[in-house]
Amino acid sequence: MRIGELSKLTNTSRRLLRYYEEQGLIVAERSPNGYRAYDERFVDRVLQIRGLLDAGLPTRIIKQILPCLDKPRVIYFPDATPEMIATLETELEQLNQRIECLTRNRDAVAEYLESVRDYRSSDAA
């Protein structure tokens, strides 16, 4: 797919996609006319990158984490400094807290929806 389509599917600007490419986070093939061509797998990859950036991780750490998201996995960690490990531990804890909060919210919405549906079906009877 071309950069415009990837941009649209991920709601990410073309400029930002080119930046991700410069940082080595995604890779584009070049067609004979010079246009960038991206594999379909980069839709998920860009969304993962955005999520990690939103979580506060710098691109240098994201670049090292990305292989963990691929299958088969080839993990490369020669630059794993104590600072990076501490950053990842903090990020992991924050992600776990967000997951717990989202799970509670999902369960509350599901319970509410079930109650509303039960009420409406008993009211209709």
**8 A C-beta contact, residue 50 and residue 6:** no
3-state secondary structure 51-81: HHHHCCCCHHHHHHHHHHHCCCCCCCCCCCC
62 alpha carbon, distance to own chain's centre: 11
Do residues 28 and 38 touch, judged by C-beta distance below 8 A?
yes
Give the per-residue pLDDT at 73.
54
From start to end of the chain, where are the E strands? 29-30, 36-37
Q: What is the pLDDT of residues 56-115, one digit of tens each?
A: 788 888 888 887 777 655 556 666 778 878 888 888 898 889 889 889 999 999 999 999
Q: What is the pLDDT of residue 72?
A: 53
